[in-house]
């Protein structure tokens, strides 16, 4: 029997046990700053230094955290799965990448910047300011290469094509509040849909199966079971 193609969507919950804040939990980022002040193109146009400070702090924090057992379990699944596989993440951290996965960062990446003058994209680990020159054109109009609210997420054609034919859709560590990611469970109409999350998400009734608990427990357990079934 042909192994089903797998599409996985992850959110901030998969990085929580590595020490990175989620957004909508009681101690989440959006409880401390307003989306309108730091995560929209209008915010960046209005006060770029404030937006740079918000992302600089999060980019700096990446040096203090490590991938956890959930990231590593998904890397193992990506390597050992005999069928098609796509890992899509809403996260802008680099923990999937450092675990050895090849994620599609649909909301961009903290460790990349984009030049508003020449369009060049660069890997970036340091702070960014309004006077940082672009390595390609030397103009100082760099922004975080992150998808803000009101901007088109990245890789949507590839994601929609993968969802269209997938047999298994896994949603991990996301509250299901932000679109278009929150709609993927409905786009994967024909798939077996599984939610692995600390608690039921906003769209939990759309799933066929759910395992609730910390990602470092429920994700490795699910991956072990899946690989045993198909080994």
Three-state SS at 209:
strand
Provide the minimum distance between the beta carbon of 16 and ligand BV8 in the complex, in angstroms, as a whole number: 4
Choose between 58 and 84: whose C-beta lies nearer to ligand BV8.
Answer: 58
Provide the minimum distance between the beta carbon of 49 and ligand BV8 in the complex, in angstroms, as a whole number: 16
Q: Does 13 bind ligand BV8 (CB under 6 A)?
A: yes
Pick from 6, 7, 8, 12 the residue near ligand BV8 by CB under 6 A: 12
Q: What is the rounded distance in angstroms from the CA atom of residue 74 to the CA atom of residue 193?
A: 16
Pick from 72, 128, 134, 147 the residue near ligand BV8 by CB under 6 A: 147
6: number of Cβ within 10 Å:
22
Provide the minimum distance between the beta carbon of 9 and ligand BV8 in the complex, in angstroms, as a whole number: 9
Query: Between residue 154 and residue 213, which ones bind ligand BV8 under the rule CB under 6 A?
Result: 173-175, 177-179, 197-199, 201
Q: The sheet that has 142-146: what strands, in order across it?
A: 121-123, 108-115, 142-146
Q: What are phi and psi of 222, to 5 degrees?
A: -70, -40
In the complex, residue closest to ligand BV8 by CB:
13
Query: Between residue 86 and residue 105, which ones bind ligand BV8 under the rule CB under 6 A?
Result: 90-92
Choose between 11 and 67: whose C-beta lies nearer to ligand BV8.
Answer: 11
Choose between 84 and 221: whose C-beta lies nearer to ligand BV8.
Answer: 221
Provide the minimum distance between the beta carbon of 149 and ligand BV8 in the complex, in angstroms, as a whole number: 4
Q: Would you say 141 and 121 are in contact if contact means Cβ atoms under 8 Å apart?
A: no
Pick from 43, 62, 88, 215 the residue near ligand BV8 by CB under 6 A: 215
Provide the minimum distance between the beta carbon of 153 and ligand BV8 in the complex, in angstroms, as a whole number: 6
Q: The sheet that has 104-105: what strands, in order across it?
A: 104-105, 85-89, 6-10, 168-172, 192-197, 209-212
Q: What is the rounded distance in angstroms from the CA atom of residue 144 to the CA atom of residue 125?
A: 11
Strands 121-123 and 142-146: unpaired
What is the number of H-type helices and E-type strands within the chain? 9, 9
Q: What are phi and psi of 214, to 5 degrees?
A: -65, 140
**Catalytic annotation, residues:** 107
Please report, as ranges, the residues that interact with ligand BV8 according to CB under 6 A. 11-13, 16-17, 22-25, 28, 39, 90-92, 107, 146-153, 173-175, 177-179, 197-199, 201, 214-215
């Amino acid at each position: 029997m042909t192994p089903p193609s797998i599409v996985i969507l992850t959110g901030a919950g998969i990085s929580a046990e590595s020490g990175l804040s989620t957004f909508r939990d009681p101690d989440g980022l959006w409880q401390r700053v307003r989306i309108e002040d730091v995560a929209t193109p209008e915010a960046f146009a209005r006060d770029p230094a404030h937006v740079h400070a918000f992302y600089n702090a999060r980019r700096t924090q990446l040096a203090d955290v490590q991938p956890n057992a959930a990231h590593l379990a998904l890397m193992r699944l990506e390597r050992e799965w005999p069928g098609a596989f796509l890992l899509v993440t809403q996260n802008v951290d680099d923990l999937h990448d450092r675990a050895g996965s090849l994620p599609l960062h649909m909301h961009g990446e903290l460790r990349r910047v984009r030049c508003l003058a020449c369009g060049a994209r660069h890997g970036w680990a340091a702070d960014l300011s309004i006077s940082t020159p672009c390595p390609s054109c030397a103009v100082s109009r760099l922004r975080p290469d992150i998808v803000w609210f009101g901007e088109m997420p990245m890789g949507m054609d590839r994601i929609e094509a993968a969802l269209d034919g997938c047999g298994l859709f896994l949603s991990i560590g996301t509250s299901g509040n932000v679109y278009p990611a929150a709609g993927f469970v409905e786009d994967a109409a024909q798939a077996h849909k599984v939610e692995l999350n600390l608690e039921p998400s906003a769209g939990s009734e759309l799933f066929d199966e759910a395992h609730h608990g910390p990602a470092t427990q429920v994700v490795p357990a699910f991956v072990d079971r899946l690989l045993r079934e198909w080994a």
